Structures are given as C-alpha cells and as structure tokens.
Amino acid sequence: MLLKALLLFLVAHIDSVLSLNNTPGPQCRCLFSDPSCWPPADEFDSLSHQLSQPLISPVPPESACYPPSNPSGNCTNVILNSANGNWRANQSGSMESFNFETFIFANGSISACYLNTSLGVPCEQGSVPPIGVDARSAQDVQAAVAFAVKWNLKVVIKSTGHDLLGRSSGRGSFMIWTHNMKNISFDANFIPEGGPHNETFNELALTLGAGIQWNEAYAAGESYGRVIVGGTSFGESVGAASGYVLGGGHSVLSPTYGLAVDNVLQFTLVTSSASVLTVNAYSHPDLFWALRGGGGGTFGVVTSVTYNTHPPTPATLILLSVENFSSGAIAQSVVSKFLSLHPTLADLQWGGIASFDSSFFSFSGVAPDTTLAESNAAIQPFVDFVRNATAGSGETVQFSTVPFDSVYVLYDAYIASLGGAASSSAGLNGELVSRLFPRELLETEYEKVADTLLGLGDLVSYVLAGGGAVSKVDPNSLGLNPAWRKALGHAILAGGWADGTNATGIHQVENQLKGYLAVLEELASLYEKNFQQTFFGDHYARLESIKDIYDPVDLFVVIEGVGSERWDELLDCRKA
C-alpha cells in the first residue's frame, strides 16, 4: 500500500561569468562549501537591502526534531504534517519527495535529516540549499539573479518543490524561492502585450503568480465563473505557474481543452541578464515557443503565467475498482479491454487515471459536459465485461457514477478533500519512470501493452492525458515534444524506499527502475540515455539555440534540461 500511495502521489504529480559558454576547459559554479569563492557576509547584507524580505536559510523541516532544534521548530507539527503536500510546499527547505532533500556522496555516505530520529544518524543539510531569496516580486528576482551571476553561484528555482527529478534542490546552491508570489488577477478582455490594437481577442484570462498552487487557481477561476486547465494531486498542492506548465502540463481536462501549455497566453520572467520580459505570441515569440514545453528552470525565472479560461461545465465522475484478481489471465483481460477502450474515451474527451497490477484495477474517470445517462452508456459495456470476466472467481467489483454541477465541484469534493496528512503521500522517498503511448499502439496492440505493463510486476498508473483537443494542436507551434500530439496514455511506475536505507539499497531501487528501460522504450526518467529525444523530440536543437540567446551564461541548468549535457552529473562544473 505504501508503494501504491507513493505512485498515486507521484502521478498527480512532475527551470560575472559572461564568457562561460565560450571559455575552453571546465568551469565550475561556486558552492557554499568553497570559502575561496563564496560571497562574504557583507555582500549578502548588501543583497538583503535590495529585497522586500529578509534572506532565508532553508533547512530540512525534519531538523525541528533534532536537539538543539531551530527555536521556531515544532517537532510535533512536523510529524503531523510531514505527509501533507500543502504544508511541505510552505517550507522553503522541504521537497515533496524526501529523497530530494538528501545527498549521496561518491563513497556511498548519505547526508540527510530523517524524520525518524531513532535511526541514530545526525541531521545534516543534504541537498537543501543553505541560503536564498524569498521572492515576492519580479524586482526581488532581478536582485537575486544579478547577485548569482556576479558571484557565479549555482542557482536553484523552487516554487512548491514537487519536481520529480529533484530540480528544486541542489547541494550548496543559492535558492530563488518563488512560492510566495501569490498574485492573481482576472481580465475579461485580455490583450497580449504587443498584440495588434485592431484585433479583438475576447479572451477571459487568469494571470497567476509563480507561487500559486492549483487549489488557489481553481478557487479563483470559480470565483469568476470560469474553468482553468490544470493538474490534479492530493490537496491540489502542485504549482500552477511553475514547472508543471513549463513541462507541458496534462490534466483530466486535456482531452477537452488541451494541455496546460496549449492554454497559455503570456508569461513574464526574469532572464540571466536580470531583465524582466513579457513573453507571448507578439513579444519574444521565440521564447514563447520555447517556454511552452521546453522545461522548467531552463530559460529564466518565471514570475507569472496568464491562462485562457473556459466556461463552467457539468461533469460526471466514474469510479470502478476490482480487488483480488484470482488469476493473471483475468487481470490481463481486464487491462487489455480497458486499453482498447481508451481511444473511444479520448474521442469522448474523457480524462482520468487507471491504476493496476496483477491483483488490482481501478479507474477514476472524468467526463466533462456529459450527462449521467451518457456517461453510463459509454462505460457500461466495459463494466459488464469486467463483471462477466470475474463472475464466480471471488473478485470484488465496485462501480459508481456521480454527476456534478461543475468540474470545480468535482475537484473540491473528490480531489482537494484528499489533501490532509492521512491521505497524501508527500514526504516519502521515491523516483519514477514513465512513457507516452501513441493512439496507434493502443488501437492495434493493446494486448501486448497490457502484457508488458503487467509483466513488470509493479503497480502501474495509466493517465488518460491525450487525444481529443491535445491531438488537434500543430505539434510544431510550440516547444513541447511533438510526441504528445499522437499520445493518448501516460504510463508511470515508481520505486520507493524507507528512511535510513543505505546507498546500496537505494541504488537497487534505481537499478530496478533502470531495468524498465530495457522493456519500455523512450521512458522519461532520471536514467534516460537520450533525454534530449525523450523529453523534447526533434525540437531540442531549436530549444537549445533559444536558450543560448536568453541565457548566454548558462545560469539556469537543471537535471535533464536543455543544455544540461554540457555539465557534469551534479551540474556543478561545465565539461571540458
């Protein structure tokens, strides 16, 4: 059950050395551990006078449970909230997946601060940046960026810490924390900056600051009578204007309204020159192309995102589960039948998620703008198939459909309500691998796909993320990997481990995940041999050229991001 909870969380869940690129030989960032280059205290004092908030010194939140703890530390509070995604997002030193707070040295020793104090190991900083800026405005970000460039610091951009590749942390780095950039505005007739004055746009748009989370964005949309395309996670704690959208952003509404990037009208961001840019189809259109799918933390520090919105619509929630498959053959038949049904569901613009292994199957589907009768008619043949396949075999089948007045009410009742500590799986150790499945494969080889996924032996989460409106967008109109336009499903598998597991045990889990690469092609994971093709497809070269224009000093380097292959494994030093 722990691994199942971890996987469901990960699904829901996920961006002065001006001649750095041109100077031959390795070039290293200055890290906190190097007193020969780290800025002196008076320089940090000077920086603090330029900021709206005091500098922050992020620490692992678990440090409150170690004497002598931070005077403001409250171990009981940490224990109660450690698995609450929204609480973790509010801590500058907390990552949603605990393992990204830790650091494994080359000799196998681990620097970490475990919640389980009985392990008898000291509380250490791990990969949590030791100092940073609590940015509340673009001006705060400008000051932080200029300071980082001046002192050649390794920069980490963090909003909520949900990034599942660990891009929100970095040992010895300088953090730009955008979580408290909470501005929201609504425009009933949004006109992109630089757009032609004689053109009527008529777009009802929400502009979200970089720290806005989906629970806040959905509530804002509801207050204006609008729907915004966004993610689903326990408590809706994922950031709405940070890494989620910069990576593409799939949603249960994507088959109806497209991916998050398909709904973006404008960005504002701070580049490595400390310039504030407004970016849209008319202003810096090359960067607008790149930001829509080119990856978070890569081109600059995004300070706001403006989304197109949609009118409210009723929706039906479909819930189906099968417990205790009596045989692998029955499991295979159910999963195969579901995968064969997915193209039809995509044409109906359904979204949702299925989870399954050899003993379990569940499906939570969302059918926007669909009556209860229409939803039942679409799913009933599959339900009948499941009941017939399991008749007399001892399985437990549960099925229900629930109508809601709007998608927001559905979110509030079924997703946001799961945000408490007892329901969320934040605070665990875990990594994942995933793959997009194109429509053609599901139409012709669904049995092979089912056999392959079930044969891996782990719980699979299968997201109904594509098709419908997603497939109708010109794949070259934005920087997102073109593979999304042919994809229907997104299959995800995760591996986890307990606190205190040594490096050998952690590497065993990682090797298990690596082993999936031999079975499933083009997986997107920490272990990609060719992340450029997997994440960005044939858009990579153009993305790289745009990065070089707007970030010529390579300040913004993230794990498996555009240009990261120029750097060593830790992203500390540029390769010779």
What DSSP string describes 281-326?
SSSSHHHHHHHTTS-TTSSSEEEEEEEE-B----EEEEEEEEE--S
Please count the structural domains in the chain: 3
C-alpha distances out from residue 498 to 16, 80, 116, 119, Å: 42, 18, 10, 11
pLDDT tens, the chain, 576 aa long: 444 444 444 444 433 333 333 343 458 999 998 999 999 999 999 999 999 999 999 999 999 999 865 555 689 999 999 988 899 999 999 999 999 999 999 999 999 999 999 999 999 999 999 999 999 999 999 999 999 999 999 999 999 988 888 899 999 999 999 999 999 999 998 989 988 876 666 679 999 999 999 999 999 999 999 999 998 877 788 999 999 999 999 999 999 999 999 999 999 999 999 999 999 999 999 999 999 999 999 999 999 999 999 999 999 999 999 999 999 999 999 999 999 999 999 999 999 999 999 999 999 999 999 999 999 999 999 999 999 999 988 889 999 999 999 988 988 887 655 444 334 568 889 888 888 889 999 999 999 999 989 988 889 999 999 999 999 999 999 999 999 999 999 988 888 999 999 999 999 998 888 777 666 654 333 444 567 777 888 899 999 999 999 999 999 999 989 999 999 999 999 998
Any domain includes 401: yes
Q: Is residue 69 part of a domain?
A: yes
Q: Is there a contact between 231 and 217 (Cβ–Cβ < 8 Å)?
A: no
Whether residues 351 and 473 fall in one domain: yes
Closest CA to 202 of 188, 184, 223: 188
Q: Are residues 383 and 436 in the same domain?
A: yes
Report DSSP letters for 29-54, one per residue.
Answer: -B-TT-TTTSPPHHHHHHHHTTSSS-
Residue-wise DSSP of 223-266? HTT-B------GGG-SBSSSHHHHT----TTHHHH--GGGGEEE
Cα angle value 311/350/439 (rounded, 5°):
130
| Residue pair 148/555 in contact by the 8 Å Cβ criterion | yes
d(Cα 530, Cα 528) in Å, to the nearest integer?
A: 5
Q: Which residues, other chains included, contact 153 with Cβ-Cβ below 8 Å and sequence gap of 6+?
A: 29, 30, 39, 147, 173, 174
Phi, then psi, of 421 in degrees rounded to 5? -60, -30
Number of neighbouring beta carbons within 10 Å of residue 36? 5
C-alpha of 493 from chain center = 15
Same domain, 345 and 489: yes
Residues 112 and 224 occupy one common structural domain: no
153 and 133, same domain (yes or no): yes
CA angle centred on 5, ends 3 and 11, rounded to 5°: 100
111, 105, 106, 131: which is closest to 123 by C-alpha?
111
Query: Residues 366, 368, 372, 377: is their CA dihedral positive or negative?
Result: negative
Residues whose CB is less than 8 angstroms from the CB of residue 157 and which lie 6 or more positions away in sequence, other chains included: 15, 167, 168, 175, 176, 178, 242, 296, 297, 301, 556
Contact 467, 440 (CB under 8 A): no
338 falls within a domain: yes
Asked if 271 and 324 sit in the same domain, the reply is: no
Q: Which of 140, 157, 177 is the last residue of a domain?
A: 177
pLDDT at 20: 36
Query: Both 222 and 289 in a single domain?
Result: yes
The single-letter DSSP state of residue 186 is E
231 shares a domain with 111: no
Whether residue 294 is found in the same domain as residue 326: no
Same domain, residue pair 218 and 163: no
Q: Is the dihedral of CA 51, 52, 54, 60 positive or negative?
A: negative
Q: Last residue of some domain: 308, 331, 354?
A: 308
Neighbours of 207 (CB within 10 A): 20
CATH number for position 268: 3.30.465.10
Domain with 81 in it: 27-177
Strands lying side by side in the sheet with 351-357:
396-404, 315-323, 360-368, 351-357, 460-464, 487-497, 429-438, 524-525
CA distance 550 to 508: 40
- Residue 72 is predicted with a pLDDT of 53
Cα Rg of the chain, angstroms: 23
Neighbours of 366 (CB within 10 A): 28
Residue pair 113/66 in contact by the 8 Å Cβ criterion:
yes
**Residues 188 and 169 grouped into a single domain:** no
* Residues sharing a CB contact under 8 Å with residue 486, sequence separation 6 or more, in sequence order: 438, 439, 440, 466, 471
Q: Which of 107, 142, 177 is the last residue of a domain?
A: 177
What pLDDT is recorded for position 24? 39
* Dihedral over Cα of 223, 229, 232, 238: its sign: negative
What pLDDT is attached to residue 26? 52
Q: For residue 352, how many other CB atoms are within 10 A of its CB?
A: 20
Global pTM?
A: 0.91
- Residue 437: name the closest of 453, 417, 424 by CA: 453
- Of 499, 470, 505, residue with least CA distance to 485: 470
- Same domain, residue pair 99 and 193: no
Question: Residue 244 is encoded by which pair of tokens?
Answer: 């989620």
